[in-house]
Amino acid sequence: MADPAVIPGRLDAWVAQQRWFPGLAADAIDEAASLPLTGDGAVRTLFLRDATPGAEAVYQVPVVAADGGALLDGPRTREFVEALLRLLFDGATARGDGAASAHGVRIGWTGPAPALESARVLSGEQSNTSIIVDARRADGERVGLMVKVFRALHDGENPDVVLQSAISEAGSRRVPATFGAVVGAWPDARVEHGVAHGHLAVAQEFLADTRDAWRVALDAARSREDFTARAEDLGAATAEVHAVLARALPTTPADDGSRAALLASMRARAAGAAALVPSVAAAQRAIGAVLEAGADGPWPALQRIHGDYHLGQVLQVPDRGWVLLDFEGEPLRPMAERNEPDLALRDVAGMLRSFDYVAGTIAQEGGDAAAGRAWSDAARSAFLAGYESELGASLSPWSTLLAALELDKALYECVYEARNRPSWLPIPELAVHRLLEAVA
């Protein structure tokens, strides 16, 4: 593993500089517990507590002790990866202080644990740390693994593990196969009795030679290449996954409480966007009418969904088609909320917005905005057609709900862009007004 692994200076200062840590102050970080993963304790996972008021959290920080007392970033070391694979595939158990523990659970893996050949940490901005592992089965067959180490820990099952394993165990190849997970316990003053339980890591199939759907779609739009057949296939893949989740996991009828909760959430998002974007503030009455119509109109049953669905969450896999990834849901939502049944149309709305962002990106780059808009409109229509075809039913009975969910997503984007990328604000801001015109 060639990546630099030494943690320079104080551990808390290093943590505060990592992409997966959203906090601001290193002096608010302290150690809650230590969990040795090897007999000598050289490889261990630290559970670090961020005590920042209003942003309290617990983070998983695997480290390896080196000569001279230095600490190495665990995921970038062979020692940690080997220890993690033993947990995942041998059903091992580790126990530490402060009620900390971990044990491995096989999910789809059969046979002896794989032998590590090489590993590397996936680069890029992520809320977790993903390790690409090249290994061999006992019979010599090579196997690629994507081992995801969850950084910000939450009490409760991680939907990325639960949902993807349910889909793959149902026989669908629309997600990477899940091979195993690490389940643990750690101190957390935010939960009853002060001990949280949940997933620490998961091992899934690594799909090589792929491109994410965002890049595929954006390249097609830039070259004005017809994308409708692929968008239709993506719609069908999305409906297939939704159907599998509805069969494999509990569903529940919509009730007055779920309708009221959605409307309250959407109204709060609209108010947040209005506070930052004057044109949204001027349209508050029309926005409110669309949101209320969606909450009051017909609803399908609630079920488990992706929860943060867009083109970047899909891979184009040779000889396999579209494969969906990262079922954690919105990372800032509490785990309990992410594990609740929701509206499958929320995923549909998210993908519609993603196609709109392709057109917006073309305009941002100085390209032909009209051509980009036409490309997006065609892709959106094809996606919906593919979804309805696989679903075996029209979405028209829920058209007011879908319009409200898409508007809600655009309002969320307005808040994000206004705060983080003001030059990109026109993409969702214009979308808000197009959506209002479409339902007027």
Q: 227-236, pLDDT tens digit by residue? A: 999 999 999 9
Adjacency order of strands within the sheet including 321-324: 211-212, 314-317, 321-324
Q: How far apart are the first and last CA of the chain?
A: 58
Enumerate residues 6+ apart whose C-beta is below 8 A from 148: 128, 129, 130, 131, 160, 201, 202, 203, 204
Q: In the prediction, which pLDDT does 68 show?
A: 81
Q: In the prediction, which pLDDT does 254 show?
A: 95
Low-confidence ranges of the chain (pLDDT < 70): 1-4, 23-26, 125, 332
In contact, 50 and 16? CB cutoff 8 Å? no
Enumerate residues 6+ apart whose C-beta is below 8 A from 337: none
Angle between helices 369-391 and 228-248 (to 10 degrees): 40
In contact, 329 and 307? CB cutoff 8 Å? yes
Q: Which residues of 364-386 are buried (b: 16+ CB within 10 A; e: fewer)?
A: beeeeeeebbebbeebbbbbbbb
Taken in order of first residue, the domains within the chain and their CATH numbers are 11-205 (no CATH), 211-439 (3.90.1200.10)
Long-range contacts of 314-320 (CB under 8 A, 24+ apart): 314/212, 314/213, 314/234, 314/237, 315/207, 315/210, 315/211, 315/212, 315/213, 316/210, 316/211, 316/212, 316/213, 316/216, 317/207, 317/210, 318/209, 318/210, 320/173, 320/207
Token output for 86: 């033993």
Q: In the prediction, which pLDDT does 338 show?
A: 85
Q: In the prediction, which pLDDT does 67 show?
A: 83
294: nearest Cα among 371, 206, 193, 401: 401
Q: 275-285, pLDDT tens digit by residue? A: 999 999 999 99
Alpha carbon 149 to chain centroid, angstroms:
13
Reduced to 3 states, what is the DSSP secondary structure of residue 206?
coil
| DSSP code string of 269-287 | HHHHHHHH-HHHHHTHHHH
129: nearest Cα among 6, 19, 1: 19
In contact, 181 and 202? CB cutoff 8 Å? yes
